[in-house]
Structure 1
């Protein structure tokens, strides 16, 4: 029986209705692609740019709002999202590292009244809306004061959900790091949700894109 089915059988009074916003990180330079002018987020999977596919997955989930943080090749990335009900937030200092993009997203989500953020990397083509829903359900059932982390075969992966109590710490992150240090040093319990290989599959190289079924565009 899936996690989602288990959750559906729990008494409704135990469930909260937290406002979980997705932060889709799409500001990076694709530095490991190597091919001049290429962006992994514009690679096509079944004819759809990866960043658009990732946004569609987020929109198809039970999350309240989807915030896309852009930076490198912003106009092209935002153009690939045309027509989708997402809000794009530019990170003008994205070159200083992933932490600045995560902070930009958290600051915006906090201003909009989020109770938690689901941090999603835009270069993970294996994720589905159901995967995100399993994480959100686990967060709700735990009464919201936990960190929820996707795992693949028991190994920590992505996405992760961070509650509002960690927003301030995330907003002060610096460098090319994610939220792992905050997760591991916080006093909050960590709830792991097994979603399989999708939690570990990102596409940082041309070989990885091809192996995942994508086509890299110049």
Structure 2
């Protein structure tokens, strides 16, 4: 497709928030953490970073988002087999994205609340520029999120996403992933446990 001025349109990137888990170590589903603040933060990071639509994958909180305060304009999908592992959530998100005009997906877990729109925008730009359409954020040499994946990889990622592997199995075998250093923007730390109150 070419727009009227002869240039190609900007790629469309859907955002996927993985928020289906029970949060066993945290003590509750992380979709509900801090009154839903983490979920709102992840949605805002994707949306303000250029993703549209933003799809939230739910699981442990139930098939309807009645327990979850979803931001306005956010789509959601329920992963019925969420308890089998992260792979189920990713597959549900990819199925939902496949029904949109998206050329890419940016995948974010719900539990990296300090990752903001500036990180998302930097990593998506790198993916758009890469011949393979693959990029991910890296924080202090540690791979993190978001991970941005062109739609030409979705089928292979979907097939490789089993149990708790998510996209890791497929991406580990692909040496063309662009690693985007984002140390200056966030820690990228995931939160597995509630904050310890100060004495």
Same fold (TM over 0.5): yes
Higher relative contact order (CA 8 A, sep 6+): 1
| Contact persistence 2:21–2:30 (CA under 8 A) | no
Match of 2:24 in 1: 31
- Aligned alpha-carbon RMSD (Å): 2.5
Does residue 87 in structure 1 map to residue 80 in structure 2? no
Give the whole-Å Cα distance in 2 for the aligned partners of 1:210 and 1:90: 31
Match of 2:142 in 1: 155
TM-superposition CA deviations, 1:80-104 (whole Å, max 9, x none): 11x4211001111100110011011
Q: Normalising to structure 1: TM-score of the pair?
A: 0.78
Q: Structure 1's 27 and 77: CA in aligned 2 closer, same or farther, altered over 3 A?
A: farther
| Residue 121 of structure 1, aligned match among 76, 99, 109 | 109
| Correspondence for 1:5 | none
Deviation at 1:167, TM superposition (A): 0.7
Structure 2 gap segments, 5+ residues each:
1-5
Question: In the TM superposition, what are the counterparts of 1:30-179 in structure 2 within 5 Å?
Answer: 30-33=23-26, 35=27, 38-44=28-34, 49-74=37-62, 75=64, 79-81=68-70, 83-143=71-131, 145-172=132-159, 173-179=161-167
Are the aligned partners of 2:20 and 2:29 in contact in 1 as well (CA < 8 Å)? no
Whole-Å Cα distance in 2 between the matches of residues 127 and 15 of structure 1? Answer: 30
Write the distance in 1 (CA, Å) between the matches of 2:162 and 2:125: 30
Q: 1:166 to 1:79 in 2, by over 3 A?
A: same
- Runs of 5+ unmatched residues, structure 1: 1-12, 212-218
Shift of 1:210: 4.6
Whole-angstrom CA distance in 1 between matches of 2:46 and 2:23: 21
Q: Which structure dedicates a bigger proportion of its chain to helix? A: 1
Distance 1:77 1:169 in 2: 33
160, 171, 189: which one pairs with 1:183?
A: 171
Asked whether the equivalents of residues 150 and 157 of structure 1 are also in contact (C-alpha less than 8 Å), the reply is yes
Provide the TM-score with structure 2 as the length reference: 0.85
Cα 1:78–1:20 change in 2 (3 A) is farther
Cα pair distance change 1:127/1:174, threshold 3 Å: same
- Number of corresponding residues: 190
- The 3-state SS of whatever aligns with 1:49 is helix
| 1:147 Cα deviation after fit | 1.2
